[in-house]
Amino acid sequence: MIDVAEALTRVLHAARPLPAVPVAAAQALGLILAEEIRSDADVPPYDKAAMDGYAVRVADLRSGSAELRLLEEITAGAVPSCPVESGTATRVMTGAPIPDGADAIVPQEATELTHRGGEVQICVRSERVRAGQHIIRRSTLLRRGETVFSPGRVLTPIDVGVLAEIGRATVSAQPRPRAAVLATGNELVPAEQSPGAGQIRNSNGPMLCALVADAGAEVADLGIAQDDAAELSQRVRQGLAADILLLSGGVSAGVLDLVPPVLRNLGIEEVFHKVRLKPGKPVWFGVRRESQRSTLVFGLPGNPASTLVCFELFVRPALNRLLGRAEVSPPQVEGCLLREYSQPGDRPTYFPARLRQEQGTVRVELLEWRGSADLRTLAWADGLACFPAGRERFQPGDKVTVILHQSSTRPVAGRADAADDFSDRAGRTGNPACVDHGWAAPGRT
């Protein structure tokens, strides 16, 4: 039986970043940029007013005041029709282009309008007019051709604004992986159904869908398959359209544990079956390769905790790799045990834990867990404490590593290590921006 590190190595060997595709910038939030982004234009594209006022010539204001003839008024979006010559001024609104000849903006507050004959005069009183004041010069912010973002960047909401500014409505990015989730087992009924004798509800399917969506993938829920080779084969074939197919249940050595043989019969190459860990030992992993694409196939154990542990150890890194992220494994922290713990020691054990910060030390509180079917206690955990194999007893105060639950729905509170590098933005999960939620304002259909 291989160990966790070897299993992860094999998973990551099989998982390659998906080929980059064009993605609408609005949908690219959280995705990894796959191209160098250069500005297609100077920003701003013209000398521009930074505030409302009058475009003047500094030379006219040497004495500290002047009466100038008003030429015209330029709002943002309009263009000046004539240059500012000596003795004249043009009114400009914030964002408007500066007329030729003008070399400063005098704020509106420093001026007074007067009418003399048929003409409008501006009386300017301003002691210290600097050349260039309140003008944003063309290309001050970006020069045409300048690199704005490099490949590998995780796109943020502000980036979406920058991309719009330079005309990038579409970018090349690593797409969201397509994931399919299939729960197996004759005992399973959907959540909305009351279980009969010997039945339980399918919790792994909904949990895996939520985990996968939260990790940045698109997910298709394939529902529940009975323990029947023909039905399983048919559903698995559907799932092979995805980049990653997650099954739960049916991977043990029981008489109805049909998943491994069914997967092998469908031409999915087995990479490993069984890993030395607890819970989660029966996990199965294989790859279906086609000429242009491949599907990673995980047979996760049926117990919810086993499924969750295998998701964090193997599936999340695979998803992160498909997404092109630099950091593939979930964040970890080290902390001191609050109570003793003992185990047989033949396999590394993953145990739900909460973290507390006390006087600068991370304390690891092991929860009252009732075993690998106990999902509710896992929901209260901050992560999974890892007890390495080969050691039976752990004392209060002993250091243990905790793999943190990684979700956009909770703060990455225990991520003490991340504070060492504020510039690391590769490790977080993605989130679709401006996804069409089926809601539209009236008048838009």
Alpha-carbon gap, residue 288 to 102, rounded angstroms: 68
Could you tell me the smallest distance in angstroms from the CB atom of residue 372 to its own copies?
8
Kind plus residue range of the DSSP H or E element containing 232: helix 229-239
- Measure CA of the first residue to CA of the last residue in the chain; give whole Å: 56
408 touches its own copies by CB under 8 A: yes
Q: Which of 30, 286, 299, 324 binds its own copies (CB under 8 A)?
A: 30
Structure-token pair, residue 152? 């590998």
- What residues from 274 to 333 belong to the interface with its own copies (CB under 8 A)? 302-304, 308, 331
Q: Token pair 């509180």 is at which residue?
A: 365
What are the residues whose beta carbons fall under 8 Å from the beta carbon of 419, sequence distance 6 or more? none
Closer residue to its own copies (CB): 206 or 388: 206
213 touches its own copies by CB under 8 A: yes
246 touches its own copies by CB under 8 A: no
Closer residue to its own copies (CB): 5 or 326: 326
Closer residue to its own copies (CB): 62 or 158: 158
Q: Which of 83, 101, 152, 432 binds its own copies (CB under 8 A)?
A: 432
- Sign of the C-alpha dihedral computed for residues 90, 94, 99 and 105 taken in this order: positive
CA 63-68-71 angle, to 5 degrees, is 150
Q: Which of 10, 12, 17, 52 binds its own copies (CB under 8 A)?
A: 52
* Beta strand spans in 209-331 (E): 218-225, 244-248, 269-273, 275-276, 284-289, 294-300
Could you tell me the smallest distance in angstroms from the CB atom of residue 375 to its own copies?
5
Q: Are 93 and 108 in contact (CB under 8 A)?
A: no
Alpha-carbon gap, residue 209 to 178, rounded angstroms: 11
C-alpha neighbours within 13 Å on the C-beta side of residue 261: 11
Could you tell me the smallest distance in angstroms from the CB atom of residue 317 to its own copies?
16
Q: Which of 4, 55, 106, 163 binds its own copies (CB under 8 A)?
A: 163
The site that binds its own copies (CB under 8 A) totals a number of residues, namely 143
Alpha-carbon gap, residue 53 to 281, rounded angstroms: 73
Give the interface segment with its own copies, choosing from 44-52, 56-64, 270-278, 283-291 (CB under 8 A). Answer: 44-52
Q: Which of 20, 61, 104, 242 binds its own copies (CB under 8 A)?
A: 242
Closer residue to its own copies (CB): 66 or 96: 96
Give the interface segment with its own copies, choosing from 122-130, 239-247, 269-277, 338-346 (CB under 8 A). Answer: 239-247
Alpha-carbon gap, residue 220 to 242, rounded angstroms: 9
Give the interface segment with its own copies, choosing from 9-17, 123-131, 258-266, 413-421 (CB under 8 A). Answer: 413-421
187 touches its own copies by CB under 8 A: yes
Q: Are 362 and 355 in contact (CB under 8 A)?
A: yes
Give the interface segment with its own copies, choosing from 114-122, 264-272, 284-292, 377-385 (CB under 8 A). Answer: 377-385
Give the interface segment with its own copies, choosing from 36-44, 56-64, 117-125, 336-344 (CB under 8 A). Answer: 36-44
Q: Which of 62, 77, 115, 128 binds its own copies (CB under 8 A)?
A: 77
Q: Torsions phi, psi of 60, nearest 5?
A: -75, -15
Give the interface segment with its own copies, choosing from 15-23, 45-53, 124-132, 339-347 (CB under 8 A). Answer: 45-53
Closer residue to its own copies (CB): 71 or 220: 220
Give the residue from 123, 98, 86 showing the smallest Cα distance to 108.
123
Closer residue to its own copies (CB): 10 or 201: 201
What length is written for the chain?
445
Closer residue to its own copies (CB): 259 or 355: 355
Could you tell me the smallest distance in angstroms from the CB atom of residue 387 to its own copies?
20
Could you tell me the smallest distance in angstroms from the CB atom of residue 204 to its own copies?
7
Q: Are 187 and 198 in contact (CB under 8 A)?
A: yes
Q: Is 105 helix (H, G, I), strand (E, B) or coil?
A: strand
Q: Could you count the other beta carbons within 10 Å of the beta carbon of residue 392? A: 12
Structure-token pair, residue 177? 């992986």
Alpha-carbon gap, residue 369 to 69, rounded angstroms: 83
Closer residue to its own copies (CB): 10 or 374: 374
Q: Is the peptide bond before 388 cis (omega within 30 degrees of 0)?
A: no
Kind plus residue range of the DSSP H or E element containing 263: helix 259-265
Give the interface segment with its own copies, choosing from 115-123, 261-269, 341-349, 418-426 (CB under 8 A). Answer: 418-426
Could you tell me the smallest distance in angstroms from the CB atom of residue 15 to its own copies?
19
101 touches its own copies by CB under 8 A: no
Closer residue to its own copies (CB): 201 or 276: 201
